[in-house]
Amino acid sequence: MSATWQLPIVALDLNISRSTLRSCVQQVKLYGYEILYQQIYRGKSSSSMRRVKPTTPVTSTPETELEFLRTEHTRCQRENARLHAENARLQAESAPCQTENAYLRVENALLKKVKALVEEQEARRRAGWRKPSKD
C-alpha cells in the first residue's frame, strides 16, 4: 500500500498554512532534515536596539561678544514678533467668547433677580399676607 501525501491535506492536519508547508518541503529538499531543527531568529538584532547618542551640530561660534549679542538680539526680535502674532491670533479667537460671556453674565443676573422675586411671592402667599387695598 503506497501512502501519498497531498500538501493541502497535510497542512490541514498539522494546522499550518500551505505556503509554510511548501517552503519547509523546499528547504528539506535543498538542505536536508537538519534545517528543520535549526532555530531561526527573526526581527531586529540586539545591536540595532542600541541607543545612538545624538551628535551636537557643529556651529560656528561668535568670535566676539558683540557678535554674540547681535545674534542673540536678532533671535529675540524674531521670537518677540512670533509671540505678538500668536497673541493677536488668540485675542481674535477669544473675542466672540468674551461677548458671549458678557451676555451670559447679564442673563445670570436677570435670572437671579427673577428667582428672588418668585421666592418673595411664594413667601407672601404662604404667609397669607396681602397688600392693603388702596381705597
Q: What is the pLDDT of residues 87-99, one digit of tens each?
A: 999 988 888 888 8
Which is more confident, 24 or 79?
A: 79
For residue 48, pLDDT beyond 80: no
Nearest to 25 by CA among 53, 50, 48, 6: 6
Whether 17 contacts 25, CB under 8 Å: no
**Cα(106)–Cα(100) distance, integer angstroms:** 10
For residue 3, pLDDT beyond 80: no
**pLDDT the model gives residue 61:** 62
